[in-house]
Amino acid sequence: MIKILYEDNDILVCHKPAGIAVQSSSVTSPDMETMLRSQILRSGTFKNKSALLHVIHRLDQPVEGIIVFGRNKKAAASLSAQVQAGGEMNKTYLAVVYGGFSGDEQEGELKDYIYKDAATKSAVVIPKPDKSKGAKESSLSYKVLTSKNIKDISTNNVVDFEAKNETEARNTADTVSLVEVSLKTGRYHQIRAQFSNAGHPLLGDRRYCSPESDEVSARLRVRNVALCACKLSLVHPTTKKEMSFEIQPEGDIFKELD
C-alpha cells in the first residue's frame, strides 16, 4: 500500500517507494498511478473518491521520494506551473555517494551541460554548451552532512569479499558520504549524472557507476539508487497556502549514515 502524506479534492501527496515507476506503458508492470487508483477505489478513507489522477512530476523508477498528483485539471495546471524553473515547488534530496570530500568541498555547486543520448537513454555531461546535441545548462547545490568509512558500516558485514589483490584491499577502506542536494534546474537524471561526472557516483546506480562505486554498492548490498526526494514544498492550488512535506528515506544505507 502506498503511504499517503496528504490528500484533498485538489492534490494527493504520497511517498513513492524505490523500484516502482510513477507511470508505465507496460500493463504487466505496476506503477504509482495504477496502484493509487486501485487504492482509492478500495479504500473508504479518501476525501476525494475519484480515481482521476494527473501526473505532475516524476522520479526515476529506482529512486524513492515525495510525489504530488493533481486531482482535477485546474489543480494540475497550477501544480505543473509550480514545477517549472523558477516556480514555487521546491524539492530537496538526500543522496549517498561514493567517496569523501575535502574541507573546501563540504558545500558547493555543480554546473555542467547535459543532453540525453537517445541510443543509451542516459544523460551525458559536458563542460560547454553544444546546441547540436541539445545540451542544457544544469546546476545544483549540495552540502555534505556526514561521511563514513565503509569498514565502519554494519551492513558491510553482510557481504565480505576477500581482497584478492592490492587494489581490492585498498577499496575496502573507501568512504561514502551523505549529501543534501537542491536542484536549480530539473534535467534528465541530473543528480545521478552530475555527481558521477564529479567523481562521486551514487551508490546503487548501475547506469552511472564507476568500478569502485559499483564494488562498494555490492559490498553494502545497495540495490536501488541511493537517492531520496525527502522534502517538497508547494503552494496549494486553491487555498494558496504554503505546504511542506518531509519523509525519512527507507533504504538501509541512509539509516547507517543518519
Would you kindly state where each structural domain of the chain is located, as residue ranges? 3-256
CB 185 within 8 A of CB 247: no
Closest CA to 125 of 178, 201, 177: 201
In this prediction, residues 148-169 reach a mean pLDDT of 66
C-alpha cell at 62: 529506482
pLDDT in tens, 28-53: 778 999 999 999 999 888 988 999 99
| DSSP 8-state code for residue 105 | G
Question: Residue 74: CA atoms inside 13 Å, Cβ hemisphere, count?
Answer: 6
**In the beta sheet, which residues pair with residue 232?**
91, 245
pLDDT at residue 214 above 80?
A: yes
In this prediction, residues 128-150 reach a mean pLDDT of 94
| DSSP 8-state code for residue 17 | P
Interacting residues of 97 by C-beta distance below 8 A, sequence separation 6+ = 176, 177, 179, 195, 200, 201, 202, 203, 226
pLDDT in tens, 215-248: 999 999 999 999 999 999 999 999 999 999 999 9
CATH fold group of domain 3-256:
Pseudouridine synthase (3.30.2350)
Which pTM value belongs to this model?
A: 0.90
